[in-house]
A = this chain, B = another copy of it.
Amino acid sequence: MTAGDHDEAATVDGLVQLSFLVLGELGRVAAGYELSLSQIRLLGILRDRRPPMLELGRRLELGKSSVTGLVDRAEARGLVRRAPDDADGRGVRVELTESGCGVAAAFTAAMTTRVEHLLAGLEPADRAQLTRLAWQLLERAGAS
């Protein structure tokens, strides 16, 4: 193993472990609202859209029947509702209820607090670096 290999493994491992840490926090915060990661992702997508089921499936990388179940459970809890699609009689549009909107906002605030706590030890310059690097990677991934 060369020095380069070591750096490589440390970078990959650090990134994966950090991701588990962050999504672990997200999962614990979500559990406080009795929400799963999937439900959180659903609410997040619906904050500024009212997509048809198939588009939800594309964004969540889920099959259509999985989306049916996910939306069923969210609807049963009053977080989202199905509305008819004016342009296509076969389709439905999924949208947040007022309750779902409130839960999404409360969750986001709680999650922000938790991540802020995690970042509390970073110097401002390091925070800025981290933000820049994260968005740089996201843009590259989105473009590819």
Complex contacts, A21 vs chain B, CB 8 Å:
137-138, 141
A-side interface mostly: helix
B23 touches A116 (CB 8 A): no
Distance in Å: Cβ of A74 to nearest Cβ of chain B = 19
Contact A119 B131, CB 8 Å, known A12-B111, A23-B19, A26-B16: no
Identify which of A3-11, A64-72, A80-88, A93-101 touches chain B: A3-11
Interface string of A102-122 (1 = CB under 8 A from B): 000000000110011011011
- Determine which of B10, B121, B128 lies in contact with A140 in the assembled complex, contact meaning CB atoms within 8 Å: B121
* Given A129-B129, A133-B133, 14 other A-B residues pairs in contact with their CB atoms under 8 A: A8-B116, A11-B127, A11-B131, A12-B112, A14-B138, A15-B22, A16-B23, A16-B115, A17-B134, A17-B138, A18-B138, A19-B26, A118-B137, A121-B140
28 A–B contacts from the bound complex (CB under 8 Å): A7-B128, A9-B112, A11-B115, A11-B119, A11-B127, A11-B134, A12-B116, A14-B131, A14-B135, A14-B138, A15-B119, A15-B130, A15-B134, A16-B23, A16-B26, A16-B111, A17-B134, A17-B138, A19-B19, A19-B20, A21-B138, A21-B141, A24-B61, A122-B136, A122-B137, A129-B129, A130-B130, A130-B133
